Structure 1
């Protein structure tokens, strides 16, 4: 796909920021783009322990909600004056686990002053790898990157700046501590149980990863840095984390027998209560993957988000690649997709100012146009439903869950009766825009029903609030009876999503036979 030009690219001297809404800690990083590089000028970190507030019913305790909102409000103060498209906030596993994420996200976004994207585990892994790869010397050798977070652990094999394999497991330092050492007691029996259960989870991909191979192992984020600090401060390792030093740390935890009796050099007070869960995960990973040495990297997902933002601004958006790969995989007709995309863009250009649609909306519409027929690979009947399911549930690098949810809603409603109920399930801030993109894509698809390269006539689209007026030449309408009938039906369909369509004629009618 040809990327859409951004009107507000990242320019020399611009400030950009990334907020990492993690399961253990919240991070804010601010960088300046200068001489083709990102230079970090500010970092904020607060231990929020969001995962510790997750209830079994998928809710979040009031205490953790309030701690999170206060932290985000402080982040929002630091972000005052930033251009909206120069800030990106990403939420990970704890928010993914919420039964009703919007109940948290709406006040969270208000506190921060910016939208918050929820990313899948594999997308989190990709962003982690981007941050790590940019924080290490360039290498063409394969690297194994492991990031133990509060609620999940990500595993990536990559080369250069490309993540070749990405996996995410529902084991993290907070989650594992609560699961195996909830009362703070650390015993050999509990350690063995934790090791066995985590090893079973790793079996899902462990053999495949070992076949892939790597030249070096890298640990990223807070848990890895905490473990590295302990083993080095204790004199068990001169650099990084070794299998022997990890074994000594394990024994030290078992000797202490309880987290409230831990007194280890290099162990910060805010890590004491969750370190056991992190160490048992890493101990199991070392044994499963046969690791003997691991370096610890200073960069992580938050830096990856910054570099991903920069890539989008410089037209190397991984989302374009994902959409192209999806279209190829499901053998979408490229000519028809291009016709619909071109017409959708023409309609968008005429409607964007009055409907206040930005470049991000234009990108969403273009991606949907390019894959609107992927459901045909399953069946023609209700192919819009099949296509929506594919887009909503595929592993699409670069996309947040909300973006995939939005595209799925558009595809599900792009023909036949629109899915008004599904549109209402989107986050409230996305609903008006999505309804309008549905209307634009529906018209573009309708106008190319013949699937021919026959050029369309000059058309004008005027929009105001919920009213769309499509002006087409009378002669063309008279000569395209099927399209005229389809447009008549479309009026009734669009009423389902509270949009009124008026088809106006311009010029003279066709001469009578």
Structure 2
């Protein structure tokens, strides 16, 4: 199987699927002259966040409507190559104690893998979509806000680059359930809710105000609907202002229950959750000092499409993030390059027999470059320290799934295998990630001495769970420590049902 995917060409279709906490979205676009032309959009209100029980569980009653929606999306995606489709899950799936219990049937229904992204990565993708759809003025910063069902993202960016990113657990569904769970609406309850919400802004509001921005833009269905209300009430023409928001809030508080709310421009679909969304937006205007906010039709799903183009054009943000990790933790660049070269040489020899792909090759290369970042903490157990840093750092461009893959590779580069690190991965990825870990282990082992002298030709044949490694006899005799390490590696592999055969030639 070739490791390189064919580059994008005019006429190719790309698709992004956004499994939001309130709605699932799909957008299909055609790549034409370096740009995207949207050819199809589908949105379904699923209200996934309504199924959260507060203990990391998901109400089984929510599953059928989620899976039915994904099956319909899957039908539309059937003719698009998998490498051109990216499906992203956000806050609700992030909160699940066992996300795989949802993701496995969801991936089956959709027919594609689904990645879970952290809040700040979600924020980056939101900004990317808005910035492409509504380019900011050159040299001027913009604030972008997106109120989802379970979380709200705040981004300050310039051009196409996100400078500041924050994600708070205060979406329209989550906030409505938190403060108005019984459906009752009172001024006293609103005031108490505002006090709690305001406290959560303290962690970043001051820094955002100091950074400053030229204009503010909202990108979510909730903000669009509040803008529609403002326009229908003849408070504004194309935006939301602090004054119009105040009028809408006062009008809302005239109703005693959520079901009774009737506002011009408010849809029946949004009515049950508008109170929570308005509460968040109202607090944001006050705490961030927003005077006017315009609305964008673009959001995370468009950002995912442009991210796919960036990866195809070798403008992959993940490459910059890996370089940043290496710089931050003082990685020995020469040693990392040696390990990477050997790991990729082994990969190329095992690729066909193990059915490895381009994503596996990239992950192996990145893991080789950062395999020693744990040394910045301590030499003892540095592979464990490195895996923790990789899994829990904010790494732009990487989904949680991708970070957990990298963490599993770094964690298993030496010593005994830590199989629980593979349990965090989707089943569809485990076999190949484990195989890449075997290759990384061999590369790290053969460069243990940090010797700058080049290795001899290393030959590798793989057949299922068996690895046959061939090295020159004279070189092995001159490197007794490496030979001893290889014999020890044979024992480590045997413990997980793999067989390593070392042959001197």
When normalised by structure 1's length, the TM-score is: 0.96
Within a 5 Å distance, the mapping from 1:423-438 to structure 2 comes to 423-438=422-437
Provide the secondary structure at the position in 1 that maps to 2:177: helix
CA distance in 2, matches of 1:257, 1:248: 17
CA distance in 1, matches of 2:28, 2:426: 27
Provide the secondary structure at the position in 2 that maps to 1:57: coil
Within a 5 Å distance, the mapping from 1:388-399 to structure 2 comes to 388-399=387-398
Provide the secondary structure at the position in 2 that maps to 1:66: helix
Provide the secondary structure at the position in 1 that maps to 2:286: helix
CA distance in 2, matches of 1:459, 1:441: 14
Match of 1:147 in 2: 146
Match of 2:178 in 1: 179
Provide the secondary structure at the position in 1 that maps to 2:452: coil
Q: Deviations over 1:347-398 (max 9, x none)?
A: 0011011101100000100010000000101111110010000001000011
Residue correspondences, number = 503
Within a 5 Å distance, the mapping from 1:160-175 to structure 2 comes to 160-175=159-174
Instruction: Give yes or no for the alignment of 1:421 onto 2:445.
Output: no
Match of 2:474 in 1: 475
Assess if the C-alpha contact under 8 Å between 1:406 and 1:434 holds in 2: yes
Assess if the C-alpha contact under 8 Å between 2:8 and 2:312 holds in 1: yes
Match of 1:510 in 2: none
Q: Deviations over 1:455-504 (max 9, x none)?
A: 11112110111111111111211221111111111101122332211111
Q: Which consecutive aligned stretches of 4+ in structure 1 deviate over 3 angstroms post-superposition?
A: none
CA distance in 2, matches of 1:57, 1:407: 28
CA distance in 2, matches of 1:237, 1:495: 70
Query: Post-superposition shift, 1:410?
Result: 1.3
Match of 1:50 in 2: 48
Match of 1:96 in 2: 94
Match of 1:509 in 2: none
Match of 2:271 in 1: 272
Structure 1 residues not aligned, in runs of 5+? 507-513
CA 1:217 to 1:5, structure 2 compared with 1: closer, same or farther past 3 Å?
Answer: farther
2:8 to 7, 10, 17: 10
Assess if the C-alpha contact under 8 Å between 1:361 and 1:433 holds in 2: yes
Provide the secondary structure at the position in 1 that maps to 2:259: helix
CA distance in 2, matches of 1:356, 1:254: 60
Q: Deviations over 1:193-228 (max 9, x none)?
A: 111111000001000100000011111111111111
CA RMSD of aligned residues (A): 1.2
Query: Post-superposition shift, 1:5?
Result: 8.2
CA distance in 1, matches of 2:157, 2:136: 12
Within a 5 Å distance, the mapping from 1:26-41 to structure 2 comes to 26-41=24-39
Assess if the C-alpha contact under 8 Å between 1:420 and 1:496 holds in 2: no
CA distance in 2, matches of 1:242, 1:118: 34
Match of 2:303 in 1: 304
Instruction: Give yes or no for the alignment of 1:369 onto 2:368.
Output: yes
When normalised by structure 2's length, the TM-score is: 0.98
CA distance in 2, matches of 1:43, 1:453: 54
CA distance in 1, matches of 2:430, 2:280: 41
CA distance in 2, matches of 1:279, 1:419: 47
Match of 1:117 in 2: 115
Provide the secondary structure at the position in 1 that maps to 2:203: coil
CA distance in 2, matches of 1:285, 1:321: 31
Match of 1:228 in 2: 227
Single out whichever of 398-407 and 327-336 deviates more from structure 2. Answer: 398-407
Provide the secondary structure at the position in 1 that maps to 2:269: helix
Single out whichever of 281-290 and 57-66 deviates more from structure 2. Answer: 57-66
